[in-house]
């Protein structure tokens, strides 16, 4: 508040099993704090990161399978 700048952070609230973005703004009368629930947004971003990691390692995949002989006759 002394610097009169906005502070932002993310926090996990265990009782709700939820993530929140927090924004605190200094005002003439004190401090205004805004919360936004972003659990699904964070989960979607994590899924995207996992997918991007998997795709980036496609050439590293080794598949081991049990094969039967082919009948050529």
17: left (phi over 0), alpha (psi -120 to 50) or beta: left
Examine the pLDDT at 57 and tell me if it is beyond 80. no
- Looking at residue 38, what is its pLDDT? 97
Q: DSSP letters along 4-18, please?
A: ---EEEEEEEGGGTE
Q: Give residue-wise pLDDT tens across range 4-26.
A: 889 999 999 999 999 999 999 99
Q: Give residue-wise pLDDT tens across range 29-44.
A: 899 999 999 999 999 9
Entry pTM: 0.61
């Amino acid at each position: 508040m002394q610097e009169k700048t906005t502070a932002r952070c993310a926090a996990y609230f265990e009782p709700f099993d939820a993530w929140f973005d927090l924004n605190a703004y200094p005002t003439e009368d004190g401090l205004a704090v805004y919360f936004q629930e972003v659990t699904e947004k964070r989960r979607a971003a994590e899924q995207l990161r996992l997918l991007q990691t998997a795709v980036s390692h496609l050439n590293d995949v080794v598949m081991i399978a049990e094969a039967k002989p082919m009948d050529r006759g």
